[in-house]
Chain A
Amino acid sequence: MKLFGSADAIIALILVAAMVLIGLINPAFWQLSNIFSLLKSNVVIGLMALGVLLVMISGGIDVSFTAFAVAGMYLVVRTMVALDYDGVILPFLAATLIGGLLGLINAGIIHKFNMIPLIVTLGTASVVRGLVLGFVGTSNVNINQMPDALIAFGRTDILTLERANGATFGLTAMIVIYVAAAIGIHLLLTRTMIGRSVYAYGADAEAAKRVGFNTGRTMIFVYCTAGALAGFAGLLHSSMIWLANPRDFVGLELDVIAAVVLGGASIFGGRGTVLGTVLGVFILVMIQNSLILMGIDTTWQRVVVGGMLIAAVAVTALRDRRAPV
């Protein structure tokens, strides 16, 4: 248990060191407007990362959640446009439900056929993206068609400040949702039986079964929650950027997985904390967004993210080897 604590502390230290470094290179980093925009960029990736964290603790990997996010977002927004419906709560419930149901398919296939999650989720991702683009549509829903209530919801701020020149900038209220989801997942993982069963399954699936955990239910919990979070995050994303693009999120799964690994979760399962993941997401988003501030060409972004991922997995691999089994 102590190991988890110290791992999170190391990640936090890395984060602080990176912040100080970026701040030294360009003091503009510390402007409140920059910090606020950083926090805003955390929300969608962070929500998805919480789902991926669950999957990774259970010893699996998920590359289908971005497709589920697109399905939740695009189906809901198109339906809203078609029905001329304006609202917030029902659409978000629907997007969450769509993601959750798609996650159920993942769970079913992985559990029933005892198949490697990577390959199953590659397949379901292709199926879902193909269905959305092939049957529902390929055109963007632009700001002039987007439901007003969604846009209004997405631009809600909890704090609005004024710059010297009179322009205002704010801290998005969506951060509250993210924090609430993070606390919720943390409590689920640490305080409930189903949460403990995820760790048990990830550490040793066979042992978890023999101790009496219903592993089928654990799988359903893990993949449905991951799907539901992705569906919700998808719609949230479109209400924050006032656009629903059915080709969105391509390649984002790698960033999210990188963030979760950066946060100390082990791909072999059994390890990972919500705090670590939240910090990992923050580090990733911060470094991506600060490349311009640091005067680094944006074409280097992929190299930097890939390098960070490799460094993070190398460190966790070393840690996993040293840790007593």
Chain B
Amino acid sequence: MSRTNTAETSGGSLKGSLLRAGGHTNVQLGVICLLILAVMTALRPQMFLSSYNFESMAFFMPELGILSVAMMIAMLTGGIDLSIIGVANLAGITAGTVFGYLAGEAGAGSLGVAPVILGVGLGLLIGVLAGLLNGLLISGLKITPILATLGTGQVFIGLCLVLTGGPAIVGFPPAWNWLGNGKIAAIPVPLVLFVVLCVALSLLLSRTSFGLRLKMIGTNPKAAIYTGIERGRMIMWSYMLTGGLAAMAGILLSARTNAAKSDYGASYLLQAVLIAVLGGTNPAGGKGNVLGVALAVISLTLLSSGFQMMRVSNHLIDFVWGAFLIAVIAINSFRGRKAR
């Protein structure tokens, strides 16, 4: 499966292989973004180009974007993480439960900044621990990532149900909600966070030995072991990173909606897989870049926002997402065959 992308990590003709691997897809994605933008603008000029529309997209896109980047990182080693939604909700719900406990009678709205920092830390810790569990199951017990994360995802969602008893936790402290609804100099906070995360992760994956080793495990596991890469430990780190990012997305989701529930964002799972694959990530491992995923999430956010304006039913949007995924698979497969 990885025969086609070994050229990428060899580093020989770096520029050429970059163009072939990430650059080419990214140029295509950029063009797709502009195309969607142009078409939607032509169809619904007043509504689509309004600052309100862009602002609302900037608020809800980062959650999905972070989840997609998290999925991409899991896919780099040839794995997948189906527990990200469970992790995200568990992070939000744990923080919400702690806030409720701390505030007592007064309600979570009375809490200041310090408890919120504690809550964020706790949420991220939950995410990293959840990722550690996934990593242990996958690299320690040698369970297939699909099944391991399917199982842990159930457990995490189950724990959400146990913590909440079913209904949503409503009411978070104002400082927490600022993370999802606030602005820094007219730019939505979630967007700022997303951009910062993207830049940091992009540097981590392309400029550090950590990123290179991660990709090598996905490209050729056996060769990676022979070059002295500790596969188990790398996989553990990658799932911990994925878990932490999923928790971050969960924090943003609960901050934006001022609520947390065990089944929020359930449809994000498929979308995160789709966006990761669309962004040039190879689910078999070894190939993936943050910019591609970011471009993919932007183009799909534009697409679904445009559809919503044209009053296309939500269900048909699901249909389009699924069809898009299959089309991308088909195109990638044809291109892969030609390259061989």
Specify whether A and B are partners.
yes
List chain A positions with a Cβ less than 8 A from chain B.
Answer: 61, 109, 112-116, 118-120, 122-135, 138, 254, 257-258, 261, 267-268, 297, 299-307, 309-310, 313-314, 317-318, 321
Instruction: Report Cα–Cα, A93/B316, bound state, in Å.
Output: 28
Q: CB-CB contacts of B35-64 with A at 8 A, as 1s and 0s?
A: 000000000000000000000000000000
Q: Which of B137, B153, B318 contacts A129 (CB 8 A)?
A: B318
User: Is B2 an interface residue when CB atoms closer than 8 A count as contact?
Assistant: no
Instruction: Report Cα–Cα, A290/B95, bound state, in Å.
Output: 32
B315 touches A306 (CB 8 A): no
B151 touches A303 (CB 8 A): no
Specify which chain A residues have a CB less than 8 angstroms from the CB of B152 in the assembled complex: 306, 310
Instruction: Report Cα–Cα, A321/B141, bound state, in Å.
Output: 10
CB-CB nearest in chain A for B323: A127
B141 touches A123 (CB 8 A): no
Most buried by A among B158, B166, B270, B333: B158
How near does chain A come to B139, taking the closest CB pair, in angstroms? 11
Instruction: Report Cα–Cα, A18/B270, bound state, in Å.
Output: 35
A113 touches B284 (CB 8 A): no
Instruction: Report Cα–Cα, A314/B144, bound state, in Å.
Output: 9
Cβ < 8 Å to A, chain B residues 284-306? 284
Instruction: Report Cα–Cα, A309/B48, bound state, in Å.
Output: 46
User: Is B76 an interface residue when CB atoms closer than 8 A count as contact?
Assistant: no
A299 touches B165 (CB 8 A): yes
Q: Known pairs A113-B333, A134-B315. 8 more at Cβ < 8 A?
A: A113-B330, A122-B270, A123-B270, A123-B326, A130-B320, A300-B162, A310-B137, A310-B152
A122 touches B273 (CB 8 A): yes
A-B contact list, 29 entries, CB within 8 Å: A113-B333, A115-B329, A116-B283, A119-B273, A122-B322, A123-B274, A123-B326, A124-B322, A126-B322, A126-B325, A127-B319, A129-B315, A129-B319, A130-B321, A131-B319, A135-B316, A254-B150, A258-B151, A299-B158, A299-B166, A300-B158, A302-B154, A305-B158, A306-B151, A306-B155, A313-B147, A314-B137, A314-B141, A317-B143
User: Is B148 an interface residue when CB atoms closer than 8 A count as contact?
Assistant: yes
Q: CB-CB contacts of B117-151 with A at 8 A, as 1s and 0s?
A: 00000000000000000000100011110111011
Specify which chain B residues have a CB less than 8 angstroms from the CB of A128 in the assembled complex: 322
Specify which chain A residues have a CB less than 8 angstroms from the CB of B313 in the assembled complex: 133-134
How near does chain A come to B336, taking the closest CB pair, in angstroms? 9
How near does chain B come to A301, taking the closest CB pair, in angstroms? 7
Q: Which of B166, B317, B320, B326 contacts A109 (CB 8 A)?
A: B326
**B-side interface residues, number (CB < 8 Å):** 44
Instruction: Report Cα–Cα, A261/B146, bound state, in Å.
Output: 12
User: Is B74 an interface residue when CB atoms closer than 8 A count as contact?
Assistant: no
Q: Which of A134, A261, A301, A306 contacts B319 (CB 8 A)?
A: A134
Cβ < 8 Å to A, chain B residues 156-215? 156-159, 161-162, 165-166
How near does chain A come to B78, taking the closest CB pair, in angstroms? 10
How near does chain A come to B265, taking the closest CB pair, in angstroms? 14
CB-CB nearest in chain B for A268: B144
User: Is B91 an interface residue when CB atoms closer than 8 A count as contact?
Assistant: no
With A122-B270, A130-B315, A313-B144 known as contacts, the answer to whether A306 contacts B325 (CB < 8 A) is no
Specify which chain B residues have a CB less than 8 angstroms from the CB of A127 in the assembled complex: 318-319, 322-323, 326
A267 touches B284 (CB 8 A): no
A254 touches B141 (CB 8 A): no
How near does chain A come to B152, taking the closest CB pair, in angstroms? 7
Going nearest first, the 8 A-B pairs with the smallest beta carbon separation are A130-B319, A306-B154, A302-B158, A126-B322, A303-B158, A130-B318, A306-B155, A127-B322
User: Is B277 an interface residue when CB atoms closer than 8 A count as contact?
Assistant: yes
List chain B positions with a Cβ less than 8 A from chain A.
Answer: 80, 137, 141-144, 146-148, 150-159, 161-162, 165-166, 270, 273-274, 277, 283-284, 313, 315-323, 325-326, 329-330, 333
B151 touches A119 (CB 8 A): no
How near does chain B come to A254, taking the closest CB pair, in angstroms? 6
Instruction: Report Cα–Cα, A112/B144, bound state, in Å.
Output: 24
B158 touches A109 (CB 8 A): no
Q: Which of A134, A267, A297, A310 contacts B155 (CB 8 A)?
A: A310
With A267-B147, A310-B155, A313-B144 known as contacts, the answer to whether A302 contacts B273 (CB < 8 A) is no
CB-CB nearest in chain A for B1: A114
Specify which chain A residues have a CB less than 8 angstroms from the CB of B142 in the assembled complex: 317, 321
How near does chain B come to A62, taking the closest CB pair, in angstroms? 11
Most buried by A among B166, B277, B326: B326
CB-CB nearest in chain B for A110: B329
Specify which chain A residues have a CB less than 8 angstroms from the CB of B162 in the assembled complex: 297, 299-300, 303
Instruction: Report Cα–Cα, A297/B165, bound state, in Å.
Output: 10
CB-CB nearest in chain B for A132: B315
With A306-B158, A314-B141, A317-B142 known as contacts, the answer to whether A119 contacts B316 (CB < 8 A) is no
Instruction: Report Cα–Cα, A113/B284, bound state, in Å.
Output: 14
B80 touches A118 (CB 8 A): yes
Instruction: Report Cα–Cα, A113/B142, bound state, in Å.
Output: 28
Specify which chain A residues have a CB less than 8 angstroms from the CB of B143 in the assembled complex: 310, 313-314, 317
Specify which chain B residues have a CB less than 8 angstroms from the CB of A138 in the assembled complex: 315
A307 touches B326 (CB 8 A): no
Specify which chain A residues have a CB less than 8 angstroms from the CB of B151 in the assembled complex: 258, 306-307, 309-310, 313
B158 touches A126 (CB 8 A): no
Instruction: Report Cα–Cα, A131/B318, bound state, in Å.
Output: 8
How near does chain A come to B313, taking the closest CB pair, in angstroms? 5
How near does chain B come to A134, taking the closest CB pair, in angstroms? 4
Instruction: Report Cα–Cα, A302/B132, bound state, in Å.
Output: 20
Specify which chain A residues have a CB less than 8 angstroms from the CB of B315 in the assembled complex: 129-134, 138
Instruction: Report Cα–Cα, A318/B162, bound state, in Å.
Output: 30
A122 touches B325 (CB 8 A): yes
Instruction: Report Cα–Cα, A112/B331, bound state, in Å.
Output: 12
How near does chain A come to B294, taking the closest CB pair, in angstroms? 20
Q: Which of B80, B159, B161, B316 contacts A134 (CB 8 A)?
A: B316
